[in-house]
Amino acid sequence: MKSQLEEVNEAEVAVFKKNLKKMEQYRGRGTELISVYIPENADRGSVMGQLTEELSQSSNIKSPSTRKNVQGALRKISQFLKSIDFKIPARGIVVFAGNVSPVEGRSDLRLFTIHPPKDLKTKLYWCDSQFHLEPLKDMVKSTDIYAIIVLDKREATVAVLTGKKFDIVGHFTSMVAGKSRAGGQCLSSDTLIPLPDGDIIEMKDTHNPLGVLSGDFEKSSIIPSAVTDKWETEKTPLKIVTKYPRFEIQSSKDHTFFVLENGKVIEKKAENLKVKDRLLFPEKITIFGKYQPLQTQFFNSYQISKAGRELLIAKRLEKKWGQTQFGKRIGITQTGVSIVERAKSNIRHDLLIQYLLALEIPFESFVYTYCTPLQNHRLPPILDIPLAQFIGYWIGDGNTEKERVCLSEQDPQLSNYYAEHAKKLFNANVQVKHRKEKGYFETRIYGKPIVKFLQSEFPEKHGALESEIPKKVLRSPDNVVAAFLKGIFDAEGYVSDRGLGLGINNKKLAKQLQLALLRFGIITSVHPYDNRRNPYSKNIRYTLQTRETRSLELFQKQIGFSSEAKNKKLNAHIQKGNTRSVVRQIPTPGSEVRKIIEKNGWKKQRFISSNMYLQDRRNISKQAFERTILAKTKTNPTLYQEIEKIAEQELMPVEIFRITGSDTPISMVDISVQNQNFVAGGLIVHNSSVRFEHLREEAAKDFFKKVSEKTNQIFSDYQDKLKGLIIGGPGRTKHEFLERELLDYRLKEKIMGILDCSYTDESGIREIVQKSEDLLKDAEITHERQIVNEFFEKIVKGDLATYGQKEVENALDIGKASILLISEALEWIVLKKRCDKEDFDEEIIIKDPLNFDESKERCSKCGGPIEILEQVDYVDWMMEKTKSIGAETRVISRETPEGETFFKGFGGIGAILRYK
């Protein structure tokens, strides 16, 4: 049977906790803060009688100010109860009232109400220097605790997860030595490896148990697999270059490759490979990327809250610095310090950094807690399609100066296009200058915050020879990656008689682009050529190129150009192209296909146009196969299904064009992978053999015993409250740990899941929390991340979502909102006030309650004095509006990166809509 608290929805509990935090902050100058707990079935006469009695007794208070405040608070409570005609809600109500002014001698009488999540059992009256909250806190004390252990043979971390927060309670390291050796099957350390999350890294950056992409030869597809070991060495290389498409890879002579011979995949050492051997590469790489949140709060000027200013003053006085002395330390005048501390002006980003550094206050936590960024410029909180396209163009043809971003372009139409694009994207001042002496147009985008934002969030942008595709782009969904590619092809791409091309002096970037295009099934070659005749540059130039019609069609459909002229050229090239493809060949021999056809009762004469292929005398492209064989089998469902499987194969053959050797050793890396192969440099290559040393195993056993004993000891006091245990680690390590049977049997009974993770320190704990959505379905953190990511996705797609106070309130008023998302960090309040003269009630939203002066409030109709009936938290008020239209409310904390982005980037108010 569910407890009463479990029956209350998450949003109500979140608002309740938020209100408790707020009430906890208030302090009275004396015993002048009143708390009244009223159960649902409380007797009206008894409650009102006690308030009257307390009012009478308060006349004995010696301090005039305390007496005045207590009596004012008691009258407010009585007036409030009369205004609701003593209709106490289900589960009861708690009323708080008193002088909450932080300034001595100033009165600020406020009344607050809280609806408890459980039934109030007894009536309670309390008058003290703070509000009495203990009975309410007891109602929401978390009893569900999860344990997390992440470990490998050299490190283990133990954590306790309660609600959304985890605490590290144990961290252990061992003396197990890492694996090392002099030999092995190696690849050049700079070989590019695509990862399942979309990232593309060099071999030297792999580690145990990082996920890589691997070939599934049974299904002829690409799947994720984990690295289990890594070694580094130096060896003399063989350089292997393929033909159509052109890939290039350097390996040791003993590295194993997969070769397609007579329709079968065999293994060959690199030293045994020969020209025209057919290696394998993936036709398409499928990545399920995630929208990447961006930090936008650190790049503009800031407005510091009252509490923040008080902290700055306190820290300065703590160091015994006067304003003049402190100003000299940070390079401003005494007047400048005074202006900041009295909030007479906002503070610049760079000055705030100096200010906080001198006072030894952490910058990020101060900005998060006490600052509101004043964004004259619009900085996107998520890497969306418009920003990704701009980043692509900026990496291709842009640079940054101190206070502006510059884009260079010869085409005036394209220059104006990106000027408008940047103006709309950043709300920036943009100018286009014609640099006649240099023969190009320069688009200048002004704004220091924009420069800092781009440099901070996309640090992969360097000079022409060092820039890379930003990791945030690579880890994004395909539509965002496509926008980036569109931008960089706008900058550096072209269409010629040879097809689609892009020329740059950066080899790594060219190869990254080659791999990124495989996410769309676009197959390209990277060709180097000697650039010494170029009077402006002696650097080798790299051309990314394809003339295959299918790849051009996919590029046109999924990426395209912003330039009308380039789009016309691309379309013309596609129209005059043919379906013959030398880069997208069916790997299955024609004789095997013929056997399938004949097994199903058909003769090969039905496929006369493919006769040479069916006799193994010629290869066939995928397009020709689909047109001349697959399409003709539709009338035979059984045959069609078998032929379709052949057409859907993702592993394609590519011929070796050249093999060259070198006597100079280079840095090489050797890894082993669970699935025995991985994608490297665009090709599918064999992994290393796995070696286990006896001494390492013995040391690992001792370490596992130590971790088990410490874990048993740590959680011995948690047994009754511990709801579940999750084990994480690389490869089989976590399973080996459990197989030792060293954990307390009571802990083993609570194991909820065993998960892979890349790290075994605090980062590993975070990774497990993120991966455990199904396992931790009852933990608040999982639900929150899911709904915020859904909101981000809909915003990026321009789909059924909106944000901003007015927009969301309007969506609620007309019943369009399905789910309200609101940040618990919003400190706004709603005042319910009444004018007796006009017999008029109204509600107003106060966004800065700390500096709100209730005495200045007037009736909006007559301008006369009003009575404040009740003060309600804005989040609570919005939740009531949501209930009235049958929608849901999700209160979002700032304890996750998504929640922080939601608050800082979207103002903390958003909604998922039922309809547009």
pLDDT digits (tens, 9 = 90+) for 861-901: 888 888 887 788 888 889 888 988 989 899 888 877 788 88
pLDDT digits (tens, 9 = 90+) for 639-668: 999 999 999 999 999 999 999 999 999 999
Alpha carbons 482 and 478: distance in angstroms, whole number: 6
What mean pLDDT do residues 377-406 have? 93
Q: Residue 508: its pLDDT value, please?
A: 96
- Is residue 180's pLDDT more than 80? no
Predicted local distance difference test score (pLDDT) of residue 840? 78
The lowest-confidence range among 536-550, 667-681, 761-775 is 761-775
Q: What is the pLDDT of residue 537?
A: 63
Lowest mean pLDDT among 329-338, 405-414, 552-561: 329-338
CA 499 to CA 574: how far, in whole Å?
Answer: 9
**Each residue's pLDDT tens digit, 829-841:** 888 888 888 777 8
pLDDT at 177 over 60: no
Q: Is the dihedral of CA 38, 44, 49, 55 positive or negative?
A: positive
Give the span between the Cα atoms of 282 and 677, in whole angstroms: 13
> Percent of the chain having pLDDT more than 70?
93
Residue 3: which pLDDT band, with cuts at 50, 70 and 90? Answer: very low
Q: Which residues contact 574 (CB under 8 A, 6 or more apart)?
A: 549, 552, 553, 556
Helix (H) / strand (E) element for 170: namely: strand 165-173
915/1 Cα distance (integer angstroms): 37
CB contact burial 146-174 (16+ within 10 A = b; e otherwise): bbbbbbbbbbbbbbbbbbbebeebbebeb
**pLDDT classification of 777: cutoffs 50, 70, 90:** low
Top-confidence range, 92-106, 206-220, 376-390: 376-390
Helix (H) or strand (E) holding 368: helix 363-370
| Mean predicted confidence (pLDDT) in 490-501 | 94
Contact 295, 897 (CB under 8 A): no
Q: What is the mean pLDDT of residues 746-770?
A: 86
660 vs 250: CA distance, rounded Å: 9
The letter for the amino acid at 337 is V
pLDDT score, position 9: 67
DSSP string, 524-593: -EEEEE--TT-TT--S-EEEEEE--HHHHHHHHHHT--S-HHHHHHHHHHHHT--S--SSSB--S-HHHH
Question: What pLDDT sits at residue 538?
Answer: 67
Which residue in 782, 821, 781, 815 sits closest to 801, CA to CA? 821
pLDDT above 70: residue 415: yes
Task: Give tens-digit pLDDT for 547-587.
Answer: 999 999 999 999 999 999 999 999 999 998 776 778 899 99
How large is the average pLDDT for residues 747-760? 86
Per the CB < 8 A criterion, the answer to whether 655 and 248 are in contact is no
Question: In the prediction, which pLDDT does 822 show?
Answer: 93
> In the predicted model, what is the mean pLDDT of the chain?
87
Residue type present at position 483: A
Lowest mean pLDDT among 231-240, 367-376, 408-417: 367-376
Quote the CA–CA distance of 546 and 493 in Å, as a whole number.
12
Residue 675: pLDDT band (50, 70, 90) is confident
Helices and strands (H, E) in the chain, number of each type: 30, 40
pLDDT at 693 over 60: no
